[in-house]
Chains A and B, each alone.
Chain A
Amino acid sequence: MADTITVSNVTKEYGTAVKTKALRGVSFRVAGKEFLSIIGQSGSGKSTLLNLLGLLDRPTEGSVSLLGTDVGALSKKERAAFRNRHLGFVFQFHHLLPEFSVRENLLIPTWIGGSKGAAGVPAETRKRAEEILDFLGVGQVADKSAEQISGGQKQRVAIGRALMNSPDILLADEPTGNLDTENSALVYDLFRRIHREMGTTFVIVTHDRAIAQQTDRIIEVRDGLVSQDVQNEYLDGRGGSSK
């Protein structure tokens, strides 16, 4: 079976006149359904890397393959469709659409992906939305406007939205950067359960080592290069081992 993620010698330069090299030759593989974190200081290139994995940007050099597809070969439209079909996003900010209800926010990715748009959402999709809302503990606010719920609830709805199209890979950039400790813990518990129950691969960007310690693998980025890539067996009580 193809790798979930293959990143080969990826560089990324920003700017035309004054060039910033955000990534300077990054390579790593994710073979199966992993639960990993990308850690590094602010400005080290984490978000740049995640945007490349999320097909939101293209590398200057090198290649990215997702689920056996060389995504560099895809057109802009195909990349958008690939995002909708295979990827889920959770950002630091929930980015819910205030014009829509909680339930509708969940359905938006299926509307975008559906051939009939918003018109014909099949009953099983509606059922899935209810299940996800219940799973995330926000079923009781499904009919409220996305503005009327608490910050922790908003981020859980955003996670639900990322899950709606059953993504193979969920990409999260500082997903708890805006939440208090209690809500952060809740979000990581949810991520774990989703990984376990739905088999979704997680790539979580964080600058917080304590959070990274809760994932199975930690890729550390420093000045645009992978400085460390370790399996984290701390959780199993066997201690970390260098790879």
Chain B
Amino acid sequence: MTSASPCEDTRAGASLTAEPVLRVRDLQAHVAGQQVVEHVDLDVAPVGVTALLGRNGVGKTSTIKAILGLVGRSGTVELDGTDLVPLPTHLVVRRGVGYVPEDREVFAGLTVRDNLRLAERRGSTHHYDLVYDLFPELHQRGGQAAGTLSGGQQQMVSLARALLNDNQVLLVDEPTKGLAPRLVAEVSRVLARAAQVAPVLLVEQNLQVVRDLAQHAVVLTDGRSVHHGPAADLLADDELTQRLLGVHADTGDQGRPADPEAPA
């Protein structure tokens, strides 16, 4: 494996020449004794949003979990020149990796306030002002058990936990999954603001959200990264989107039924 940028073989946009904040090379991941990520190269651009795309089950979530060390992994994951692969998850995170997992994963039995307090990361400033500015509702519902919140509110808690800290990079996995259109727009707004503070790697099925937020895109197929390039170019190419993502670029969503605000 050479250390060449995976962007070389595609149409590298001008902004891609900047040093990536996160450089993933030959990443492999194992879940339940099975190799679900076979070979992923990806760069997270130092500013803005890099989208991680692909059909259901291609290994997007597993790639993110592998970056965090939540699943067995090999390869290299460089953040700021340090390889994260030898580190346990909590030390990866303390280096400034914020994580918003698929399906929110709030602590249902803890209050909203305790969910946030638990997320206060050692060695970081805690931006409660930002968080309560973005999500005033969380301030009002501070004493409520997170498990009793609606799906949209839980997603806010999950986003707030990550945005509370100083991040070098944010890993956000399907933040609009199952949300009503109004909430999709709100999450999208929050992410745009988050991306001004720290670069984001975003897994997202809603292509309109990708179009609005992402400058760069990486596409996975069967546990392998198969495409890197400007997000706009990918989404402008109907044949390519159809082949890689299984949808027409102009229909936006990848055929996933929305489940508006169902309490998770």
Q: Do A and B come from one complex?
A: no
B interface with A by C-beta (< 8 Å): none
A interface with B by C-beta (< 8 Å): none
